[in-house]
Amino acid sequence: MKRIIGFLIFLPFSLFAQDLPIIPEPVHIVNNPGFATLSALTTLYYTDDTGKKSASFFRDYLKETYHLSLKIKSGHPATENEKAVIFQQQNNTNHPDGAYALTVKNDMIIIEGKQAGIFYGTNTLIQLLPVEQQASGKLNIPACYIYDYPRFAYRGMHLDVSRHFFDIAFIRRYIDYLAYHKFNYFHWHLTDDQGWRIEIKKYPNLTKTGAWRNGTIMGHYPGKGNDNKTHGGYYTQEQVKDIVKYAADRFITVIPEIEMPGHSSAAIAAYPWLSCFPDEPTKIPLSMISQKSMVEQQEGRIKLVQETWGVFNDVFCAGKDSTFRFLEDVLDEVMKLFPSKYIHVGGDECPKENWKRCPHCQERIKAEHLKDEHALQSYFIQRIEKFLNRKGRTLIGWDEILEGGLAQNAIVMSWRGEKGGIEAAQQNHFVIMTPGNPVYFDHAQSEQEDSLTIGGYNPLEKVYAYEPIPKELNKEQSKFVMGAQANVWTEYMDNPKKVEYMIFPRLSALSEILWSPGQNLQWTKFEKKLPTQFQRYGLWNATYSKAFYDLKSSVRPPTDDEKGVIWEVIADHQEDRIQFEAFPASDTGKIEPSPISGKPGQLAITHSGTYTANRFGAGENQLLSSITQNFILNKATGKRITLLSPLSEKYPGDGAFTLVNGIQNEKGLSKSKEFLGFAGTDCIAIIDLGQEERVGKVVVHFFEQENSWIWKPRQTRVLVSENGTSFNLAAEAGDQAAIPSDNGNGKMVIQLDRVNTRFIKIIIDNWGEIPAGKPGAGNKAWLFIDEIEVLD
């Protein structure tokens, strides 16, 4: 019996199902009465090799997850009454790439699609399976009809295996996670300063030396010493071939990344002649270097694999032809292992300091008539791109490859916000969106994050709200946005369980953003699917974050009839009850909290102190969760503030109000939501105190971490005004007034001759260009401002 099911193109809206917990949400769903039952009597049929891959994948999933073994056969069932799942090719060219139709009716299930479409339909079928183990050996699947296809052609996930190495077993598991969510690209970050992870036969030292480091800093950067433990590992070429095939069987393309010209310390440790200065020792601060590396350098070893995080000046020499011969040799071997059309070459965060003083690089600039070192980076990338193009491949690079002019056929990965992606698309270059805010999955996903993260705050809701096509692009330019991906940098992920914790459930949210049509994206519907999805993670034995169930808090300015600042606390279940507690900053007894009438979960903060919100279940006295926040109030707290300088997209906080919300950062970059970041620009703000006030001191709270290019203010000026338009200088202070602290949080106190004023203008000067000898030398510094206090 051969059955062909035509794809359904149009469905009346009234038939759309609302209750099947499928992630990502399909284009069209129709619920039907009844169900199909999978049991040992069910047979899996396939009609071609594509169907066979999907049938085998489904069979293996059932056996591993439910201990249910099914037979698999070529062809079709002999009768319509046979219990069967059919995986069959649909060659109709009128359907989008990746389209499929899934029909579940009685005990017959049919998945019909084009190429990868059959596989995507298989993973939808997996999501229809029960999430509880079935003792009966039977699995009931709800009767339905689904027609589906992806929104974006590029749906990617990245994994950094250089900062911490992960074995082949986990790489396979990671690829399975992508397959379950219908991702089709795996970006494998194989090389960086902290380790070279792929065997290159022509250059054995890359793995003999470059794959191993003598230690790693402990704790959050800059750390508390070195663990003095050897870290490392690499993948043989046979293992790489195995992973590429494993992914291809799941219709996932593996894109290798070989970093250049920066982030190359591991390669230089293996072959020092790749450096501009082979005889200059690798620089690792004494507070961060391992004892073994100290001894090795004392005994004459010059170059080391880096043991800390950040950006380093020792990069590939762009002036030596031997550097390019090396890279072409490496890429030749890489391309033999990876059939991907795309090869990622990094291109990000390349300091120019060594190039500026390198005679070879300066000679290259002169010979090629280049403007400067930024143009030299463009030359470097374009030279590699031409090599890849001759081999039939396309170069992908981070958005720094825009520096000095974009290579002709290159694809840009926009990570420093969306600006690079917008610029590339407007120049008719293809782009993949991967902005740190919100799709860097190494950032915290909970306000109360208790695990070590690099910083930032990308909660599940923010990921789900992301739109990969920037509003600045018109319809034609939007066509150059191939899709998006999330990046998983592993400085603070040293084991598979931590990686799982950081990606789930955000990976599920991203999958829906990249697959489902915009009109199907509904947060309220998605969050209702999460409890089932969490159970499914359990079936996979995957660790996941439960931050979704946390109390969510924010601070807003008061309305005209409110005082102080307003702390808003929201529970995921509206019927839950929130109760506040408050303790004053000084030892004067307990403050009586002031919840706002008619606004559950909102508290007016009118005194400095420590405030706690406790969540109780509806009608219960059992404490389910709590959240605590310190508030330090001053004359500027909650007042109207206007920001006159541009914010970085990466560190926008809650806008200008962040500077007067009464919260001072206590956790450095791990709570960077409380910072406003300025990339090479000053912070200029005007605060309206609402009425004339006596002012004797202004305190600017900042964050400083020079190794991350974040510098203290160079100078701060305070100006005052009676009318908000004409300002007079009241006081100023240089960088010597900055008071540092151990965790990077600092403050600058500006004393005024006591004045009466209503308007205060604060000009906080960025340090400017980072000086020679410092990490990031020659680049513009970051300025991070946390809070501005106005005091008597």
Fill in the amino acid letter for 707. N
b/e 409-431 (16+ beta carbons within 10 angstroms → b): ebbbbbbbbbbbbbbbbeeebbb
Tokens at 623, concatenated = 């404490």
Contact between residue 633 and residue 597 where contact means Cβ atoms under 8 Å apart:
no
- Run of H or E residues at 513: helix 506-515
What are the φ and ψ backbone dihedral angles of 438, each rounded to 5 degrees?
-125, 15
* Rounded Cα gap, residues 535 and 65, in angstroms: 12
φ and ψ of 310, to 5 deg: 130, -155
Alpha carbon distances (Å) from 390 to 384, 393, 409:
10, 7, 12
Q: Of the candidates 257, 226, 307, which has an alpha carbon nearest to the alpha carbon of residue 434? A: 257
Q: What is the dihedral of CA 380, 386, 387, 393, to 10 degrees?
A: 120
CA-nearest of 787, 486, 542, 501 to 657 is 787
CA distances from 415 to 431, 433, 443, 650 (A): 11, 7, 14, 9
Choosing from 148, 349, 512, 706, the catalytic residue is: 349
Please report, as a single letter, which amino acid is at residue 694.
R
Q: Which parts of 2-141 fold into alpha helices (H)?
A: 49-66, 116-128
- Is the Cα torsion angle 94, 96, 99, 103 positive or negative in sign? negative
- Cis preceding linkage at 26, omega within 30: no
Catalytic entry in 107, 192, 442, 449: 192
CA distance 231 to 17: 50
Task: Examine the residue annotation and report whether 263 is marked as an active-site residue of this protein.
Answer: yes
* The residue to which tokens 């707290």 are assigned: 637
Residues 6 or more apart in contact with residue 493 via CB below 8 angstroms: 163, 164, 442, 499, 502
Using CA atoms, how far apart are residues 370 and 377, in angstroms rounded to an integer? Answer: 10
Round to whole Å and give the CA distance between 339 and 603. 58
Structural tokens at position 610? 């420590």
- Does 576 qualify as catalytic in the annotation? no
CA distance 405 to 371: 11
Asked whether 585 and 573 are in contact (CB, 8 A), the reply is no
Our answer to whether residue 192 is catalytic in this structure is yes
- What is the DSSP-derived secondary structure letter of residue 81? T
Kindly report the three-state secondary structure assignment for every residue of 403-416.
CCCCCCCCEEEECC
Query: Do the strands 43-46 and 231-232 form a parallel or antiparallel pair, or are they unpaired?
Result: unpaired
Kindly tell me the burial class for residue 217, based on how many C-beta atoms sit within 10 Å of its own C-beta (0-12, 13-18, 19 or more): buried
d(CA 181, CA 150): 11
Q: Which of 329, 351, 415 is nearest to 780 (CA)?
A: 351
How many H-runs (helices) and E-runs (strands) does the chain carry? 18, 34
Tokens read off for 447: 């306000």
- How would DSSP label each residue in 672-698? GGG-EEEESS-EEEEEEEEEEEEEEEE
The three-point CA angle 23-24-29 to 5° equals 90
- 263, 374, 429, 443: the catalytic one is 263
Residues 6+ positions from 276 with CB-CB distance below 8 Å: 314, 315, 317, 319, 354, 355, 357, 358, 360, 361
Q: Which residues are catalytic?
A: 192, 263, 349
